[in-house]
Chains A and B, each alone.
Chain A
């Protein structure tokens, strides 16, 4: 499964959802498919995307929040998995694209390539709903199931270590940040 195909397959489900992504390939690919004001790309502060998602989810419990994370980023903030499980925001879906690689900085292999199991780590941290999927239909089914559930859900999606040629897009960081905050301010209670 390619991450780009996975994102493309569920892009239409993101309407009305507060979306937070990590830097690099995930941010660039989602913008390639189509940017909307409800998408926030954390282009640095590696590891903190799930913490940003937690802050949004706690501040706006009525709004669905989806975080698109990566194995390298999660490994930098494993403690964050325990914080997520502890507060268990029922409106948060945490997707981890696991390609076993720090792709955007040259493909340095991460510990998931040598057997570390992020779903297992999250489950033992206390996450109530966890899945690992490695093909597209399974990912779409798991994502729809998570969006429909009224509980914290985590999906580890095994993807190929491939990404776009470049990561800089024409959407500036601050334009994205202010547009996202404005969208959250104007969006009433939603999905």
Chain B
């Protein structure tokens, strides 16, 4: 599977560097290595969800209890979590770091991802969630650290869109 192990490792290390201890996730092709890294790490509590919106609740609880967390999900999982984000994390001013695989954009081969790909950034904008797209491995640490810093200063959700060029290595 041509998901980048090196980028996954960098992202995981960047999450550790900002003290993320609880990571909730739903599987998505691009996130398989990241989820396995979290599972294998004794310092990280991985919560495998049934649906992404649950992860907003888990992160709320972790934050109220003084522990840093993040969510890993696909853009369609982000769509599935919208009410929890609005009436949980935003209403209660929770710093919620969301790493979202940005499916359905240039280079996408799966037809079923294409409709959601049109909407990801628009939904983020509509929810007034600050986000940056992360495509370069060299930007991983700085972007994730910056996202966490803003989330805690603003006490609001913040998103990092994980792009194809970061997560996917086309077979040569």
- The interface residues of chain A lying within 8 Å CB-to-CB of B65 are 18, 55-56, 59-60, 63, 181, 184
Tell me the chain A residues, 1-60 only, with Cβ under 8 Å from chain B: 18, 20, 40, 42-60
Asked whether, in the complex, the Cβ of B60 is within 8 Å of the Cβ of A55, the reply is yes
CB proximity of A13 to chain B, nearest CB, Å: 20
Q: Is the CB of B57 within 8 A of A52?
A: yes
B61 contacts A57, C-beta separation under 8 Å: yes
A58-B45 in contact (CB<8A): yes
The answer to whether B57 touches A48, judged by C-beta atoms less than 8 angstroms apart, is yes
Chain A residues within an 8 Å CB radius of B22: 55, 58-59
**B56 surroundings in chain A (CB, below 8 A):** 45, 48, 51
Q: How far, in Å, is A4 (CB) from chain B's closest CB?
A: 25
Q: Which of B9-17, B85-93, B108-116, B137-145 contacts A (4 or more CB under 8 A)?
A: B85-93
Which residue of B48, B53, B61 is within 8 Å of A77 (Cβ)?
Answer: B53
Among A81-89, A110-118, A128-136, A155-163, the stretch in contact with B? A81-89
Q: Does B127 contact A (CB under 8 A)?
A: no
Task: Name, among A55, A63, A79, A184, the residue most crowded by chain B CB atoms within 10 Å (CB to CB).
Answer: A55
Report chain A residues within 8 Å CB of B92: 42, 173-174, 177
Say yes or no for B51: interface residue by CB 8 A criterion. Answer: yes
In the bound complex, residues from chain B placing their C-beta under 8 Å from that of A68 are none
For B85, the closest partner residue in chain A by CB is A45
Set of chain B residues within 8 Å of A53, measured between Cβ atoms: 61
Check A105 for interface membership: any CB of B closer than 8 A. Answer: no
Tell whether A165 is near chain B: CB-to-CB under 8 Å: no
Quick one: which of A58, A83, A173 contacts B49, CB cutoff 8 A? A83
In the complex, what residues of A have CB within 8 A of residue B84's CB?
45, 48
Indicate if the CB atoms of B57 and A181 lie closer than 8 Å.
Answer: no
Enumerate B34-80 residues with CB–CB distance to A below 8 Å: 45, 47-51, 53-67, 69
Chain A residues touching B, range = 35 or more
Q: Does B29 contact A (CB under 8 A)?
A: no
Interface residues of chain A: helix, strand, loop or mixed (majority): helix
List, in ascending order, chain A residues with CB within 8 A of B63's CB: 55, 181
Does chain B have a CB within 8 A of A180?
Answer: yes
Known: A48-B84, A87-B47. A54 touches B66 (CB 8 A): no
Q: Does A70 contact B (CB under 8 A)?
A: no
Contacts of B132 in A (CB 8 A): none
B88 and A20 contacting across the interface, CB-CB below 8 Å: no
In the bound complex, what is the Cα–Cα distance between A59 and B67 (angstroms)? 6
Question: B98: shortest Cβ distance to chain A, in Å?
Answer: 15
Q: Which A residues are CB-close (under 8 A) to B47?
A: 54, 58, 83, 87
Chain A residue numbers with a CB within 8 Å of B21 are 59
Q: A55-B65, A59-B22 are in contact. Are A44 and B91 (CB under 8 A)?
A: yes
Chain A residues, CB < 8 A from B51: 77, 79
Tell me the nearest residue of chain A to B92, going by C-beta.
A177
0 or 1 for each of A113-154: is its CB under 8 Å from B? (1 = yes): 000000000000000000000000000000000000000000
Nearest B residue to A183 by beta-carbon distance?
B64
Question: Beyond A44-B91, A77-B53, is A51–B61 a contact (Cβ under 8 Å)?
Answer: yes
> Which residues does A use to contact B, with CB under 8 Å?
18, 20, 40, 42-60, 63, 77, 79-80, 82-83, 86-87, 173-174, 177, 180-181, 184-185
9 nearest CB pairs, A to B: A55-B61, A51-B57, A79-B50, A45-B88, A48-B57, A44-B87, A59-B65, A59-B67, A55-B58
